[in-house]
């Protein structure tokens, strides 16, 4: 944005001045209202911070954080600065005034003031201020100017998410923090953390240590995911990575400071090969399995059906599986303070269940008519155990097959149909259709980036409408972008795939639909590229090369 801010430099009284354009903001997501006012705030010393509010301790932490961020461009804040320009933060503790995340912001020649009903609103107001500051430190002697304006802002949706798959590629704590930093900057507030899958179990569960000792390791492989060599007999699984419970607590704390809720996903009953590698007795076939290093695992047929070549499903007919899951979800519920726990439910291959006499007998005994009913039975059991821990289950839209569990929320990925049906039945839904939200899909021509089987261009993402006509909008919690990482080998590549499409999602999910405007968004996005070039921010700054075996080098 600060092209405008910096483009024109003047020499006046021996000072260069960074001259912002006054009429237009460069904010992403676009605020609900923005009114340019005449003049600029000139900042040439520390901003004196004043905190007002029922609990101004809440504001102290956020002020400190803002100070760290703003210091990148040479702006300092100081609670004791006597005179000069002011940063006034006012928490009215009346959420009805601005909504739980909304704020009012004014920049005038005397300073900046932000008023909000809740600390999140102050935080988002400060994010807007950060976006009004230059992308990079100004040259010595150049004055920092911010255009005067008034803004009122609040999000359209409460669920503005990104999903990060840490099973296919393990990201270190430091890397997850960097991912969170950028999310917060664009007012994204949910990290859906895909912690388990066929290619690695990434969360320590104290009751079942082999989940990470065995399930967190695979044989080292490079090359195209899906075509890699399966483990050879006797080969050691040395490519390891998992989060200890202390790591999880640290990431949860870090996210909460940035007003991001983490939704953990334990993907069952399919996608469970890593758990089965650790505890083969959890499956029907009970054959010793291995954590898949990215070798061929399925066959897809022209009619849309598929077959899993390895049995990666939990046994729905075994009480011991439910006892196992109860302990797993019990520990997960303790670690994550948010309301939702994601229990997966997607792409569960039923072939091994269909062939199993144990499953057939179980179905007869329980009056279950087919394998869809059996999956529904399984998800209802999981739903009940999650509810008993005071949480709400959310699952991919397959959890509706055979009947949706009471109170469960649906994450609609095979289009928006599942979310629409869920809302019609009075269930909450999060919209994340492949057509608009799959960030693992190519965003450019295949000659320019690694080939993936689908494309999703920025413009299409920007056209995403989370509330289809005729749906009770109060049941659509929001939406999210999903970054599956089969073909994402580094954090840099994760950022490349996520942005700028996540900027489009940030705007779709925050700004009123009526303010959406593609040419303006493109122009603002271009301006934000300069910020991306400035690199990483936050505690995880400049950390590279970590994996489960080696700590990152910071």
Residues forming the active site: 197, 271, 347
Size of the site for ligand ACM (CB under 6 A): 4
Work out the number of other CB atoms within 10 angstroms of the CB of residue 346: 16
Nearest residue to 26 via CA among 455, 491, 523, 513: 523
Tokens of 239: 């490519």
Nearest CB to ligand ACM, comparing residues 254 and 438: 438
- Residue 159 Cβ vs ligand ACM, minimum distance, rounded to whole Å: 16
Nearest CB to ligand ACM, comparing residues 172 and 412: 412
Question: Distance between the two ends of the chain, CA-based, in angstroms?
Answer: 29
Nearest residue to 509 via CA among 467, 481, 483, 479: 479
- Residue 404 Cβ vs ligand ACM, minimum distance, rounded to whole Å: 16
Nearest CB to ligand ACM, comparing residues 90 and 194: 194
Nearest CB to ligand ACM, comparing residues 347 and 370: 347
- Residue 182 Cβ vs ligand ACM, minimum distance, rounded to whole Å: 23
> CA 423 to CA 434: how far, in whole Å?
19
List binders of ligand ACM among 292-321 (CB under 6 A): none
Degrees to nearest 5, angle at CA 172 with 170 and 173: 135
Nearest CB to ligand ACM, comparing residues 257 and 347: 347
- Residue 411 Cβ vs ligand ACM, minimum distance, rounded to whole Å: 8
- Residue 484 Cβ vs ligand ACM, minimum distance, rounded to whole Å: 7
Nearest CB to ligand ACM, comparing residues 174 and 199: 199
Nearest residue to 160 via CA among 528, 516, 502: 502
List binders of ligand ACM among 341-360 (CB under 6 A): 346-347
List binders of ligand ACM among 325-344 (CB under 6 A): none
Is residue 423 a contact partner of residue 429, using CB atoms and an 8 Å limit?
yes
Nearest CB to ligand ACM, comparing residues 342 and 427: 342
Burial pattern 199-217, b for ≥16 Cβ within 10 A else e, equals: bbbbbbbeebeebbebbbb
List binders of ligand ACM among 366-405 (CB under 6 A): 396
Nearest CB to ligand ACM, comparing residues 347 and 539: 347
Degrees to nearest 5, angle at CA 42 with 38 and 48: 120
> CA 125 to CA 550: how far, in whole Å?
38
Helices (H), 116-171: 119-132
Nearest residue to 85 via CA among 40, 142, 150: 40
Nearest residue to 295 via CA among 219, 238, 237: 219
- Residue 478 Cβ vs ligand ACM, minimum distance, rounded to whole Å: 17
Name every residue whose Cβ is closer than 8 Å to that of residue 174 and which is 6 or more positions away in sequence: 539, 540, 543, 546, 552, 554
> CA 223 to CA 208: how far, in whole Å?
32
List binders of ligand ACM among 413-452 (CB under 6 A): 413
Tokens of 447: 């000659």
- Residue 192 Cβ vs ligand ACM, minimum distance, rounded to whole Å: 11
Residue with tokens 């998800």: 379
List binders of ligand ACM among 174-193 (CB under 6 A): none
List binders of ligand ACM among 20-59 (CB under 6 A): none
Nearest residue to 175 via CA among 164, 185, 184: 164
- Residue 194 Cβ vs ligand ACM, minimum distance, rounded to whole Å: 9
> CA 272 to CA 282: how far, in whole Å?
9
Nearest CB to ligand ACM, comparing residues 178 and 482: 482
Task: Tell me the DSSP string of 43-91.
Answer: E-SPEEEEEEETTHHHHHHHHHHHHHHHGGGT--EETT--SS-EEEEEE
- Residue 308 Cβ vs ligand ACM, minimum distance, rounded to whole Å: 13
The secondary structure of the chain in percent helix, strand, coil, rounded to multiples of 5, reads 35, 25, 40
Contacts to ligand ACM by CB under 6 A: 346-347, 396, 413
């Amino acid at each position: 944005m600060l092209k405008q801010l910096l483009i024109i430099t003047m020499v006046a009284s021996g000072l260069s001045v960074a001259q912002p354009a006054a009429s237009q903001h460069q904010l992403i997501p676009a605020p609900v209202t923005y009114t340019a006012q005449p003049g600029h705030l000139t900042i040439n010393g520390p901003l004196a911070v004043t905190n007002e509010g029922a609990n101004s301790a809440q504001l102290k932490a956020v002020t400190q954080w803002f100070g760290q961020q703003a210091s990148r461009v040479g702006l300092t804040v100081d609670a004791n600065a006597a005179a000069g320009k002011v940063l006034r933060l006012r928490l009215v503790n009346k959420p009805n005034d601005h909504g739980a995340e909304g704020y009012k912001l004014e920049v005038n020649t005397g300073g900046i003031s932000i008023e909000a009903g809740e600390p999140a609103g102050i935080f988002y107001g400060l994010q807007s201020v950060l976006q009004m500051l230059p992308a990079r430190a100004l040259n010595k002697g150049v004055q920092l100017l911010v255009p005067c304006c008034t803004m009122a802002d609040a999000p359209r949706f409460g669920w503005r998410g990104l999903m990060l798959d840490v099973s296919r590629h393990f990201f270190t704590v430091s890397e997850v923090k960097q991912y969170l930093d950028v999310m917060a900057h664009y007012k994204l507030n949910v990290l859906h953390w895909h912690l388990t899958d066929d290619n690695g179990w990434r969360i320590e569960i104290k009751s079942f240590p082999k989940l990470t000792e065995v399930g967190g390791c695979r044989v080292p492989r490079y090359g195209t995911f899906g075509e890699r060599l399966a483990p050879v007999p006797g080969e050691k699984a040395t490519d390891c990575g998992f989060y200890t419970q202390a790591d999880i607590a640290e990431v949860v704390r870090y996210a909460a400071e940035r007003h991001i809720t983490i939704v953990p996903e334990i993907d069952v009953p399919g996608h469970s090969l890593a758990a089965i590698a650790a505890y083969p007795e959890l499956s029907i076939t009970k054959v010793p399995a291995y954590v898949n290093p990215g070798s061929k695992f399925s066959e897809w047929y022209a009619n849309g059906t598929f077959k899993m070549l390895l049995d990666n499903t939990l046994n729905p007919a075994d009480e011991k599986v439910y006892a196992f899951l109860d302990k797993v979800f019990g520990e997960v519920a303790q670690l994550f303070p948010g309301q939702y726990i994601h229990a997966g439910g997607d792409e569960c291959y039923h072939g091994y269940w269909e062939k199993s006499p144990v499953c057939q007998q179980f179905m007869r005994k329980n009056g279950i008519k087919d394998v869809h009913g059996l999956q529904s039975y399984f998800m209802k059991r999981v739903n009940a155990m999650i509810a008993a821990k005071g949480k709400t289950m959310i699952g991919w839209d397959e959890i509706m097959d055979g009947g949706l569990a009471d109170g469960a929320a649906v994450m609609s990925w095979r289009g928006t149909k599942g979310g629409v049906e869920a809302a019609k039945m009075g269930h909450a839904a999060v919209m994340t259709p492949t057509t608009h939200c799959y960030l693992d899909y190519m965003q450019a021509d295949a000659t320019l980036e690694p080939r993936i089987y689908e494309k999703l261009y920025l413009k299409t993402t920007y056209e995403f409408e989370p509330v289809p006509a005729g749906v009770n909008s109060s049941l659509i919690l929001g939406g999210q972008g999903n970054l599956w990482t089969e073909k994402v080998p580094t954090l840099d590549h994760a950022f490349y795939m996520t942005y700028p499409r996540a900027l489009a999602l940030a705007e779709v999910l925050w700004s009123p639909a009526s303010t959406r405007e593609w040419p303006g968004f493109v122009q603002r996005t271009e301006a934000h590229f300069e910020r991306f070039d400035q690199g990483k921010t936050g505690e995880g700054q400049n950390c590279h090369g970590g994996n489960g075996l080696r700590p990152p080098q910071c």
